[in-house]
Amino acid sequence: MAISSPLAGETTVEPMKDLYGRLGSIGLPRKYVKTVALPSWWDDEAASNPSGYAEGALFIARHLGLEYESLVDSNAKIRVYKPKECKFKKREGTTDEDLLLSQSISVRAAHLAASAMSKEYKELPPSAGEVRQEILSRGARCVNLQALVDYCWSIGIPVLHVSRFPASARKMDGLAACVEGRPVIVISRREHHSAWLLFILAHELGHIAHRHVCDDAVILDERIDEKSSDSEEKEANAFAIQLLTGDQDCQFRATGRWPNAEDLAQSAMDLSRKHGIDAGHIALNYGHTMGKFFPVARAALKIIEPKPEAIRLIGKYVAKNLDWSMLPSESCEFLMRVTQPNSDDNVPAG
């Protein structure tokens, strides 16, 4: 049965079906929109009248980072909201447009998290050494993922893990954003071993410390490259290495026979106890230093951390530290969906 278009005064069939089709054309399939952006109580029948359609479009715009006006005008091209400035640190062959969906969804999650922070932001020291000493002075044995996530939240920097993107979206390692003066870090790499996410977090913190992001701006890392010639990436990498090891030029390498996974894991754990450095980071640092040695480094991580739950750890901090009463219930539901581990996140990444 034909009904009048909710807002444009035209004749159309099933207004939500038409909207889902338009969203699908930019890489947002109906199932994703229904299960991630719209509240659980939503019924597409509500869109049969103009106010209901407008409400549904508002939820989608608010949660997926789309321009509301482009959703309610059936003749308009759907537009993605863009921050005042977004620096894309991307690989050769990747365009800014390739990363727009993952950027917009992550930035919306960052904005909602910032809106639910009752704790004031305490200025981050510019020196990685100062941050390291502060964390160690709190009783941490080393700067590991839990210690660094805990530190960030303690000074008012929310740390989120957001990787629930539509299948067509280009994935990224993470981003740093500034929302009304408050930094927010989003990690998106789907790795369950802590060391992978630890370096990304330290790197994004480096962008914040070096003031690479101003208000309403974003810096997005598709893949963090420790050999990048980009000046901001070099500064963020140096900050991360110094924060995690105490020396921005720290490299671990084999001096004799290259170790197997068991030997590398044991050496990393011994060095961790001796120098106060995360054992997983030592294994990955070794993998980088020795070239294409990641199969052994990954195998060593499985020995060092046999039951990895890095994503779950970050999700617990989100659930615990945000003031959920400061958000509409529909936005609480969206934020929980994209920041809390799904059932498939219980299976460690290979």
The two structure tokens encoding residue 254: 């084999």
From the list 236, 99, 108, the residue with the least C-alpha distance to 171 is: 99
The two structure tokens encoding residue 334: 């969206």
Q: What is the pLDDT of residue 5?
A: 45
> How many CB atoms neighbour CB 7 within 10 A?
15
The two structure tokens encoding residue 312: 């779950």
**283 and 266 in contact (C-beta within 8 Å)?**
no
> How many CB atoms neighbour CB 17 within 10 A?
12
Q: Cα(128)–Cα(196) distance, rounded to whole angstroms?
A: 19
Q: What is the pLDDT of residue 215?
A: 87
Could you tell me how many residues make up the chain?
Answer: 350
Q: What is the pLDDT of residue 341?
A: 87
Phi then psi dihedrals of residue 159, to 5 deg: -120, 120
Q: Estimate the share of the chain in helix, then strand, then coil, as percent rounded to the nearest 5.
A: 50, 10, 40
**Exposed, middle or buried by CB within 10 Å (0-12, 13-18, 19+), for 276?**
middle
Q: What is the pLDDT of residue 292?
A: 66
Q: What is the pLDDT of residue 11?
A: 40
Question: What sign results for the dihedral spanned by CA atoms 10, 16, 21, 22?
Answer: positive
The two structure tokens encoding residue 250: 């720290």
Query: Both ends of the chain: CA-CA distance in Å?
Result: 50
Q: What is the pLDDT of residue 255?
A: 77
How do strand 85-89 and strand 217-221 relate by DSSP bridges? parallel
Averages of pLDDT over runs of 10 residues in the chain (350 residues) are 42 78 96 97 94 97 97 93 90 92 97 97 95 97 98 98 95 96 97 97 98 93 92 97 95 84 96 97 91 86 97 98 97 97 44
Q: What is the pLDDT of residue 226?
A: 84
What is the 8-class DSSP label of residue 249?
T
From the list 279, 337, 272, the residue with the least C-alpha distance to 308 is: 279
Q: How many C-alpha atoms does 160 have within 13 Å on its Cβ side?
A: 30
The two structure tokens encoding residue 239: 């900050």
Angle at 188 between CA 183 and CA 192, to 5 degrees: 120
Q: What is the pLDDT of residue 231?
A: 96
**252 and 285 in contact (C-beta within 8 Å)?**
yes
Q: Cα(258)–Cα(252) distance, rounded to whole angstroms?
A: 12
What is the 8-class DSSP label of residue 80?
B
